[in-house]
Amino acid sequence: MNLTTEPQQLKDLLAGVSGSQSISILLPENCTRDAMAAGLALYLSLVQAGKNVKISCPRPVTVGWNRLVGINKVVTEISNKNFIISLDYIEGSIDRVSYNIEGDKFNLVIEPRAGSQHLFSEKNVHYNSSGGTIELLITIGAASPDLLGKNYTENKNLFTEKPIVVIDTNQANGKYGKLNVVQTGVTMSELIAALLKLAKLPLNEDIAANLYDGLSAGSRNFTTPGVTAETFETAAWLLKSGARKNTTSQFNQPPQEELPRNEVAVAAPDEDQLPPDWLKPKIYKGASSLL
């Protein structure tokens, strides 16, 4: 796999995200198991590296993917900002802060410290929608932003204001990012595995398990023409890193062959529809031999 400057460029972009800023990993509407496994592996690695990361797919995830680690972290839309309630504050004026929920109301309770001369009222309350802003976008398996569905159409300003890292295996990719990591002839999980390794990003058993799962799915259990010696080297590296083989997953099952549209399978007759002599012994007469 020909990755030269891309791993270092990725590290540089990641280093520019800190504090309350966040990274958003975006998956396409027609996300494959391979892309989902790769995206979750990258998500877990960046979280372990101390980054504030969110992962989003515009469609709800497939039930059959519940073996992927971190699948419960996938949301269906981008959340760009946090809602913040601010109070004018004087040192030592608050004794305790708590909350309770009454019906459909969330109540934030501010208890002033005894003897404090500072009184809280609605005049002291301020609201804003800042903090937690997305500083970096990473798309996985999306040849164009349109394939990201509502995560693109409802947030087009982000795609013009923020740097984008495009990771894909499709030759037709439009390379719309500041950094475009596009490699053909490999699975998405194999590409992410190479990036993590070359950029020296964290790898643990869960990350390796997701990548091995995606690698197996994307290569149809290592049977597609694109499988090379490097593919098996990647698989061996992931297994050494703690990946577990999943022998019961759907991509290890033989494909079900469908009958041609103009052919109809004929079911065997039910027992109560059998001819009366069906179960009686049959005597077959062969041709008489010639002497």
Same domain, 122 and 239: no
Same domain, 136 and 115: no
For residue 266, the model assigns a pLDDT of 41
Select from 220, 205, 170, 212 the least CA-distant residue to 190: 212
Question: What is the token pair recorded at 136?
Answer: 């970096």
Burial class (CB in 10 A: 0-12, 13-18, 19+), 108: exposed
List residues bridging with 24 in a β-sheet.
54, 137
Same domain, 124 and 229: no
Same domain, 21 and 91: no
Asked if residue 8 lies in contact with residue 174, where contact means CB atoms within 8 angstroms, the answer is no
pLDDT per residue over 99-144, tens digit each? 899 888 888 888 888 877 666 777 778 766 554 589 999 999 999 9
Could you tell me how many residues make up the chain?
A: 291
In a domain, 14, yes or no: yes
Amino acid sitting at position 200: K
Which of 128, 160, 192 finishes a domain? 128
| pLDDT class of 268 with cuts at 50, 70, 90 | very low
Structural domain range at position 108 = 84-128
| C-alpha–C-alpha distance, residues 201 and 42, integer Å | 9
Asked if residue 45 lies in contact with residue 196, where contact means CB atoms within 8 angstroms, the answer is yes
In a domain, 263, yes or no: no
For residue 247, the model assigns a pLDDT of 41
For residue 230, the model assigns a pLDDT of 96
pLDDT per residue over 36-86, tens digit each? 999 999 999 999 999 999 999 999 988 889 999 999 999 998 865 566 787
Same domain, 96 and 234: no
Q: Identify the sign of the CA torsion 43, 44, 50, 54.
A: positive
| C-alpha–C-alpha distance, residues 29 and 19, integer Å | 30
Same domain, 58 and 201: yes
For residue 277, the model assigns a pLDDT of 59
Q: Is the pTM of this model over 0.75?
A: no
Same domain, 75 and 196: yes
Domain count, the chain: 2
In a domain, 99, yes or no: yes
Same domain, 229 and 118: no
In a domain, 278, yes or no: no
In a domain, 269, yes or no: no
pLDDT per residue over 190-233, tens digit each? 999 999 999 999 999 999 999 999 999 999 999 999 999 999 99
Amino acid sitting at position 47: V
Same domain, 62 and 91: no
CATH code, domain carrying 198: 3.90.1640.10
In a domain, 202, yes or no: yes
pLDDT averaged over every residue in the chain: 84
Same domain, 64 and 101: no
| pLDDT class of 282 with cuts at 50, 70, 90 | low
In a domain, 224, yes or no: yes
Q: What DSSP state is assigned to residue 137?
A: E
Same domain, 113 and 150: no
Percent of the chain past pLDDT 90, that is, above it, reads 59
Higher pLDDT, 254 or 174: 174
In a domain, 94, yes or no: yes
CA dist list (Å): 172 to 52, 69, 133, 140, 182 = 31, 30, 31, 14, 10
Same domain, 169 and 220: yes
Select from 68, 30, 24 the least CA-distant residue to 246: 68
